[in-house]
Amino acid sequence: MIQHLKSSTVSVVVDVSSGIPTILHWGQTLAELPQTWGSFPVAFGAMDSTTPISVVPLHGDAFTGRPGLQGHRRGGRHWSPRFSYVSHEVIDDLHGTLLECVAHDLIAELEIVSCLHLSNDGVLTARCILRNVGDSPFMLDAFTVSLPLASHAEDLGIFGGRWTREFELQKFRWPYGAWTSENRLGRSSHEHPGYVWALQSGATEWQGEVWGVHAAWSANHVIYAEKLPDGRRYIQCGELFHAGEICVYAGDEFSTVDVIGVYSGSGMTPASWGFHNEARRRSPRFELSARPVHLNTWEAVYFNHDIERLKELATAGAAVGIERFVLDDGWFAGRRNDRQGLGDWWVSSEVYPDGLNPLIDHVRALDMQFGIWVEPEMVNPDSDLYRAHPEWVLATEGYEPILGRHQLVLDLWNAGAFEHVLTQLDALLRDHDIDYVKWDMNRWHVQGSNPDGKAGTHDQTVALYALLDRLRELHPRVEFESCASGGGRIDHAILSRVERVWTSDSHDALDRQLIQRGASMLIPPEVMGSHIGAERSHTTGRRHSMSFRGATALFGHLGVESDVTELRDSELEQLRHIIGVYKKYRYLLHGGDTVRFDTFELTAGAGLSHGVYSLDRRQALVAYCQLSSAVSLTPPMWRLPGLLEDALYEVQIVPLTTATSVIVPGAVVRQPEWLSEALRGAPATFTGRYLEVVGLQAPVMWPETAVLVYLSCS
Residue-wise pLDDT for 19-71, tens only, equals 999 999 999 999 888 877 767 777 777 776 778 899 999 999 999 999 999 99
Task: Report the C-alpha gap between 361 and 433 in whole angstroms.
Answer: 9
One domain for residues 209 and 270: yes
Residue 224 lies inside a defined structural domain of this protein: yes
Task: Report the C-alpha gap between 651 and 628 in whole angstroms.
Answer: 25
Strand 705-712 with 648-653, pairing: antiparallel
Provide the 3-class DSSP secondary structure of residue 585: helix
For residue 315, the Cα-to-chain-centroid distance in whole angstroms is 33
Asked if 663 contacts 653 with a C-beta cutoff of 8 angstroms, the reply is yes
> At a CB cut-off of 8 Å and minimum separation 6, what does 45 contact?
none
One domain for residues 67 and 172: yes
The CA distances from residue 228 to 43, 44, 64, 215, 225, in Å, are 12, 15, 8, 22, 10
Asked if 560 contacts 317 with a C-beta cutoff of 8 angstroms, the reply is yes
- Owning domain of residue 255: 2-282
Alpha helices in 320-456 (DSSP H): 357-365, 384-388, 415-431
The secondary structure element, H or E, covering residue 236 is strand 233-239
One domain for residues 13 and 149: yes
One domain for residues 440 and 479: yes
One domain for residues 447 and 329: yes
One domain for residues 472 and 515: yes
- Phi/psi of residue 31, nearest 5 degrees: -70, -40
Residue 75 lies inside a defined structural domain of this protein: yes
* Domain end among 560, 591, 622: 591
One domain for residues 266 and 363: no
286-315 confidence digits (pLDDT tens): 666 689 999 999 999 999 999 999 999 999
Residue 548 lies inside a defined structural domain of this protein: yes
Residue 631 lies inside a defined structural domain of this protein: yes
Contacts 24+ apart (CB under 8 A), 269-274: 269/205, 269/206, 269/594, 269/595, 269/596, 269/642, 270/206, 270/642, 271/197, 271/210, 271/211, 271/212, 272/212, 272/520, 272/521, 272/522, 272/594, 273/121, 273/593, 273/594, 274/121, 274/122, 274/123, 274/212
Query: Of how many residues is the chain composed?
Result: 714
Decide if 505 is catalytic.
Answer: yes
Residue 268 lies inside a defined structural domain of this protein: yes
Task: Report the C-alpha gap between 113 and 131 in whole angstroms.
Answer: 8
Ramachandran assignment for 295, one of left (phi > 0), alpha (psi -120 to 50 degrees), beta (any other):
beta
Question: With a cut of 50, which residues of the chain have pLDDT below it?
Answer: 660-663, 666
Q: What is the CATH number of the domain that holds 674?
A: 2.60.40.1180
Residue 463 lies inside a defined structural domain of this protein: yes
One domain for residues 70 and 209: yes
User: What total number of domains does the chain contain?
Assistant: 3
SS (H, E, C) 33-58: CCCCCCCCCCCCCCCCCCCCCECCCC
Residue 288 lies inside a defined structural domain of this protein: no
Using only the alpha carbons of the chain, give its radius of gyration: 27
Task: Report the C-alpha gap between 342 and 92 in whole angstroms.
Answer: 48
Q: Which of 344, 440, 593, 598 is catalytic?
A: 440
Roughly what angle, to the nearest 10 degrees, separates helices 569-589 and 307-319? 70
One domain for residues 226 and 238: yes
Q: What is the CATH number of the domain that holds 105?
A: 2.70.98.60
Closest CA to 562 of 541, 528, 592, 534: 534
Q: Which of 329, 411, 505, 593 is catalytic?
A: 505
What is the per-residue pLDDT for 40? 72
What is the per-residue pLDDT for 677? 82
What is the per-residue pLDDT for 488? 94
* Domain end among 255, 282, 309: 282
One domain for residues 583 and 601: no
Strand 619-626 with 705-712, pairing: antiparallel
Residue 208 lies inside a defined structural domain of this protein: yes
* Domain end among 569, 591, 613: 591
What is the per-residue pLDDT for 502? 97
Torsion sign (Cα): 189, 191, 192, 193: positive
Asked if 104 contacts 220 with a C-beta cutoff of 8 angstroms, the reply is no
> At a CB cut-off of 8 Å and minimum separation 6, what does 636 contact?
599, 600, 601, 698
What is the per-residue pLDDT for 38? 67
One domain for residues 305 and 433: yes
What value, to the nearest 5°, has the Cα angle with vertex 685 and ends 683 and 689?
150
Provide the 3-class DSSP secondary structure of residue 206: coil
**Is this prediction's pTM over 0.85?**
yes
Provide the 3-class DSSP secondary structure of residue 21: coil
Task: Report the C-alpha gap between 625 and 699 in whole angstroms.
Answer: 10
Decide if 306 is catalytic.
Answer: no
One domain for residues 370 and 498: yes
